[in-house]
Structure 1
Amino acid sequence: MALPIAVLVSGSGSNLQALIDRVESGALEARIALVLSNKPDSYGLKRARSHGIPALCIPHTEYADRLEFDRAMIRAIREAGAETVVLAGFMRMLSAEFLKAFAGRVLNIHPALLPSFPGVRGQRDAADYGVTLAGCTVHFVDELMDHGEVVIQAAVPAYPDDDGDSLAERILALEHRILPQAVQWLAQGRIQVKGRKVHVTPTGIQRAVPPANALVNPPLEQGF
């Protein structure tokens, strides 16, 4: 049975589109039960509606504090029947109450190789620092920013003439592959967390070929 998920977005929703594409191709054993945004102008809402996916805006500005906003999101996600929450460019910290409601079932994609460069400027901070490798991380969410256990990471080259935008474009192509892959592992029940280590149970599924000059670990599988 397909895993019912809620996808939270704040912006364009390109990672949401990657999830939609994998669901529609049959590679991702999930059903997007709800796309939820805190911003009414989020293009992610339009993406969802164009594919017949329920889409809802809950503006955080209409709530007195973060906890009341999170409670509204919890109600909406539960009413949609979603069991797992995927943050795909959702620019809000989540409360302990939200994380408890979906314990061990909240994933986030971050455009840097954590624990380096957490926060909203990950690509720009990496470029400004002058790293020679950059990348992205899918991790479980806890109460600290970009801190939870790492599920999968992808690394790409970073060059001396990169700025945040050029590096972000290179990283984004890998985000679109590792986020659906991580959700698939969760949907298949293949993830075990031991301390800070995440173990993915192997199944013998054929590996996919990553883009040139990219390293992905654990390896991508066929369809991703």
Structure 2
Amino acid sequence: MPSLCNVVVLISGAGSNLQALINASAKPGSLSRICAVVSNRAEAYGLERARQAGIETHVLDHTQFADRETFDTALMEVIDRFTPDLVVLAGFMRILSTGFVTHYRGRLLNIHPSLLPRYTGLRTHQRALDAGDLEHGCSVHFVTEELDGGPVVAQAVVPVHAGDTPETLAERVHTQEHMIYPLAVSWFAQGRLCLTERGAELDGQPLPLTGHVIRS
């Protein structure tokens, strides 16, 4: 029987993507096991989601550390207690240091609310509307030193409707996030997804720059 993939999830807020991952890991046949949820904010509702699922939680307040590197070192110490096979960023609102990214290279995933490489950073829904885009969406990618610039694993594409606001567009994108993030994690847990010198690979084949694309 294949071994379980130990996953640590990092959050800062409500944790809706965390909930999607919890739900997916509870399904029969899942090979992912969320062994801990860590937040840099004590008030993050995602911590309550984890507790309700019986998952161990930790809070590490970044404001109590002198600089980014010191916080990231402490964060790595917490994460590594659980010997994770994969670290998942689910709304973790921190820019990570090079040392942190290097330490977890090839086992660090993030989800971003745009069709990368478009709209790295913040306010992605407003920026898509301002640009008059006909399509928008979200991307799961391996994390590298470049902000939102690591190899894309999967993208979900949604249409932009006339009269959309950032809020209505975000709602449709969130629905897709909750589908493609568990999918990408399951690929990793099954040993199908990896990061190589050629970029992201699925089943031994290099993925295109846009990753595996799903259209709604």
Q: TM-score, normalised by structure 2?
A: 0.90
Moved more, 147-156 or 122-131: 122-131
1:34-53 Cα distance to aligned partner (Å, 9 max, x none): 10111111011110011110
Partner of 1:34: 36
Larger CA deviation: 169-178 vs 80-89: 80-89
Given candidates 176, 185, 189, the residue that maps to 2:178 is: 176
Structure 2 residue 212 is the aligned partner of structure 1 residue 217: yes
**Given the superposition, is the C-alpha separation of residues 117 and 14 from structure 1 closer, same or farther in structure 2, using an over 3 Å criterion?**
same
**For the Cα contact (< 8 Å) 1:33–1:81, is it kept in 2?**
no
Structure 1 residues 100 and 150: alpha-carbon distance in aligned structure 2, compared to 1, 3 A threshold: same
Residue of structure 1 equivalent to 2:73: 71
After the TM superposition, list the runs of 4 or more consecutive aligned residues in structure 1 that deviate by more than 4 angstroms: 194-197
SS of residue in 2 equivalent to 1:47: helix
Map 1:83-162 → 2, pairs under 5 A = 83-162=85-164
Structure 2, unmatched stretches of 5+, are: 205-210
In 1, Cα distance between equivalents of 2:55 and 2:184: 21
Instruction: Report deviation, 1:139.
Output: 0.2
CA distance in 1 between counterparts of 2:213 and 2:185 reads 13
Q: What displacement does 1:167 show?
A: 0.4
Q: Secondary structure at the match of 2:144?
A: coil
**Count of residues in Structure 1 that have an aligned counterpart in Structure 2:** 207
Q: What 5-or-longer segments of structure 1 have no aligned partner?
A: 203-215
The range that moved more, 20-29 or 146-155, is 20-29
CA distance in 1, matches of 2:6, 2:80: 11
Cα distance in 2, alignment partners of residues 108 and 76 from structure 1: 19
SS where residue 175 of structure 2 aligns?
A: helix
Task: Give 1:95 shift.
Answer: 0.9
Tell me whether 1:18 sits opposite 2:20 in the alignment.
yes
**Residue 191 of structure 1 corresponds to which residue in structure 2?**
193
Q: CA RMSD in A?
A: 1.8
* Conserved 8 A contact 1:34-1:82: no
Report SS of the residue matched to 2:8.
strand
TM-score normalised by structure 1 residue count: 0.87
> Conserved in 2, the CA contact under 8 Å of 1:23 and 1:29?
yes
